[in-house]
Amino acid sequence: MTNQPRHLANDMIFRRTHEAHGRRIFVTPENSVMKHLCYGRIILDSQMPRTAFETGKMEVGLVCLSGKCVIEIEGRLHELGRYDAIYIPRNSSVTVITEAGADLVECSAEVEGDYPVQVVRYSDVERNGSLKFTTGGASSKRTVNILLGKNIEAGRILAGVTTSEPGNWTSWPPHEHASMLEELYVYFDMPAPAYGVQLVYTNSDEPDVVAIVREGDAVLMPRGFHPNVAVPGHPMSFVWMMAAHREVEDRQYGLVTVEPGFDTGRSGLEASLK
């Protein structure tokens, strides 16, 4: 048994976040079990080609899932395409502009430090074996893309994209990192009938979450092991984003505790530590 409070699944899943247009913040410490991490979505098209906001006390990371856009920060322009990302400091004025359309996920967290604007090109990530790598065994093969990781300066946030092989598990073997990082998955690029099954637990006999997840669903992982599996015949894609509990010090990807009983081999994340 555990002394940690349990959370109901409906407190830890935000459904269909891909259906709103414009900019919308779905998850904050005020409306969820997160202590630091916030999740938002920016979906623009020709009918709604721009949005603007202030970062305030938050550092912000944007990952472009599809389309193209221009990010204007304090008068400077930065173009983003698919899987490009940008780090935006606190106290920044931001405008996002598109012509044909763009879909971006937004992760943010309150910080005390000041870090510079940084643009991450996916073409650079692809050339770095510690930022993009394939891992896992015969039934747990997936490709991990670290977009906002050790390649940038930041206070709390980390973000990237993982895609499984059809019918395979990810986050396997089950691992957790709750002493350092809280996490959130956002599923995307999973058109019907594709879906996955997500688990979150500290005690597998009493899981916090056992849920079917589809396009646009966000699952919160304040603590616990969090494996998931795609249905046969369909891959599973998700953005993962994390926030460190201690600014800078805990902002480390790949340092995990594997669930006892499954800890006889590798975690699957060793390439990220090189």
**Residue 5 — very low, low, confident or very high, per pLDDT cuts 50/70/90?**
very low
Residue range 58-74: average pLDDT? 98
pTM exceeds 0.85 = yes
User: What is the biggest distance separating any 2 CA atoms in the chain, rounded to whole angstroms?
Assistant: 54
- Domain spans of the chain, in order of start: 9-251
CA distances 23 to 15, 30, 94, 96, Å, are 16, 18, 12, 10
What is the DSSP annotation of 28-44? Answer: -TTTSS-SS-EEEEEEE
> What is the CATH number that goes with domain 9-251?
2.60.120.10
The rounded distance, in Å, linking the Cα atoms of 104 and 64 is 4
Query: SS3 of 143, please?
Result: strand
Question: Per-residue pLDDT tens for 143-189?
Answer: 999 999 999 999 999 999 999 999 999 999 999 999 999 999 999 99
Residues 6+ apart with CB under 8 A from 124: 151
Please name the residues in contact with 203: beta carbons below 8 A apart, sequence gap of 6 or more: 1, 2
Residue that the structure tokens 């092989």 belong to: 165
pLDDT of 88 over the 60 cut: yes
Which tokens in the block code for residue 133?
């790598």
* Residue matched to tokens 């809280």: 182
Average pLDDT of the chain is 95
pLDDT tens string 113-146:
999 999 999 999 999 999 999 999 999 999 999 9
Task: Give me the sheet containing 132-135, strands edge to edge.
Answer: 13-14, 218-221, 181-188, 237-244, 157-164, 142-148, 132-135
Distance CA 81, CA 68 (A): 5
